[in-house]
Structure 1
Amino acid sequence: MSIELSLERKVRIDEQISHLEDCVSELDLNGEHPITQLVDQINEAQSKAERRQLALEETVEQSPTEEQLRRVYTPYLNYLNNVESRVEDLQHAVVYFAVNEMQHQGDGARLRYTQSVCDELNKRFQIEAEYLPVIWSAYAAFDIVRKDFYAIHIPRDNRPILGAPILGHELGHAVADHLQREDKRNFQRRVESLASEFKPRQREIVRTAWREWFYELLCDACGALTFGPAYLVILTRRLLSSYPHNLPEGIAGTEHPPDELRYRFVRQLLDQRLADWEMDVLDRHISNFDQHLEISKESKPTEYDDWIDPEILSIIETISLDYINLDIKELMEETLGESEISPCRSRRIEVNKHILGIKTADKIEEYH
């Protein structure tokens, strides 16, 4: 009967937990690490499920009606779902730790460099989270334990310093996870106002697009406001697509904003905070990308400007500033001037000097 199936499921879950706890015990983790806390949460959820199991077994012994059985059976399954969901998180964590350990044998320098950049960035964001770099197919952030612990995907390449600014964007996803409901209230109101200006058949597409674009633009702000000019340079290289003004035609494909929008937003963030002579270091990169946009303008939709709302961008900027310990002024002084380099900015200054041509480096080992 179904009760037996549910009890068998509980046994399978318990076996997984036992095996995973053995794996975690072999990891070098302190007691406050998010993974250790996750194990504690799993054990707590497991105990709650066991109490529900006991209530279910007692009910079965009393020859219950179908309604009486349902009252304890369905909650028991829900508790098992909760345990299983957390076990899946722990499964991911164990896999990522194993990959990280294995990759250190051949790509240790790459991983150590990425970790050092993440550690420096972590001090700029007003959130508490831990990061584990792993070599994957491309840059990305995977939330192993949402808000607490992230696997940072990086590609296997020989020029990690050129990709370092992207880490500012990826850690921005952790910032996005920490946002409170009230943080986005003004944004949501403005999006509704903007959508109301479109034809009824377009409104849901506009709403969905901007709700998705919000996160990518917030992450761009995190990258720009922590890395400064280097982020804009790398962004222009990554946004070199055929249709920089592309707009969604349906609900699908709305995750990323148009390239032109991302570029203008980041450029504006820097232009507002850098002196004219500091922005001069970007002249060549800005000129090149502006030419790219000019050549591609024939594909720009006629309604493109109707989608772009300066007030929404201003709201996103304000939200990002609430979560960043801004040091872009000091970053520029130490990058372009003679000021002594502070340890809390050393990695980002190295990146800016290298990308802006102030200093060159062929191998990342030179930065260890």
Structure 2
Amino acid sequence: MALQRVLAVDDEPFNLEIIEEILEDLDFELRTAASGPECLDMLEEFNPQVILLDVSMPKMNGYEVCRAIKSNPDTSHIVVMFVSARGSVEERMEGYSVGAEDYIVKPFGQGELTAKLLKLGHMLLEKDILEQQVEDATTTAFSAMATSSEMGQIVNYIENIANIDDVTTLAKALINCMSNFGLSCNIEFRINDEQFHHATSGMCSPIVLELFEILKSKGRLHEFTSRILVNFDYISVLVLNMPEGDSEKHGRIRDHICFIVSVTEQQLLAILTRNELCQQQQNLNGAIAMISSKFKGLMLLLDNNRKQNEAVFKGLQEQFEQRIPTMGLDEDQELFIYNKVDNAIQKSVAREEALIQVRAAFSEIESDLTALSNKVDEK
């Protein structure tokens, strides 16, 4: 800010008249005070940027006045230039020691005083610019720190939900994440045409449920007053207390919310996919168990049939061996009967070999199904 307000303090009216005459052509608002106490009384109302302060005054000299000005946090920023008839090094050092920024020795000319004031004005302007730069840098630093802290929370959230395999636990984790940002929210998960609701306060109000239903297909983002609703395919989040009065923070938190909900939806899909694969695995294991049971039952039946056939043929062979010699048959007839019996036995043996092949095929099928089940488990 350029120099606009100057306060001249001197117990000699003639000296004040000289100062007024010198500064009348400059674009300053000039006021005067005849004593130190009067000067201090005027500071709050006038708020001068520069004080031209006489050193030698009764009751309260300029050094005392300057010390009082600089010791007060509300007035310490005011620039003080001592005006004195004495300009020794000792007096100048005394002036600087109590906080003055400049010193001018009486009598002074118009050009000297004007030049010093213009220089002080330039100093004030540079000071304002520097303070603004410091303020901007501080704001940027705090914003960067806030962003860094917020991103740290988001990274922790992503790492934590990667290990979650339950939908309810995921919803609670999302609510806790929002709470870490100081946000109160309501959540809707949509799974297989069903809606599941969670809230920071415990339950979603009826009007919130209506908002979810009305707006879930009306776009990604809805903002109204201090509330914001974020929609994704499977998740909607309504935040009730977005930051107000700080547009930068508001925008940053809004972006964080959208990203967090997006990541949460991906984890929700991963959970649903794992659950579906687990269900498929259970179904496959059940089918494998059923097929194995039927195979074993069929093999047992075939094995029993084989044993029964062996017993029948063995009994028939024993009967033939006992009866044929007593039947009075000639040799050709006996040979014919024996050949028929041998052929029947050979066919039975062939059926037994086929049974062994069937058993081997069933065992191979069972092994293949077990291998397939293991592959699904690995996925």
TM-score tier (shorter)? under 0.3
| Greater relative CO (CA pairs within 8 A, separation 6+) | 1
Larger Rg: 2
TM-score between both structures, scaled by the size of structure 1: 0.23
TM-score between both structures, scaled by the size of structure 2: 0.22
> Per residue, is there more helix in 1 or in 2?
1
> Per residue, is there more strand in 1 or in 2?
2
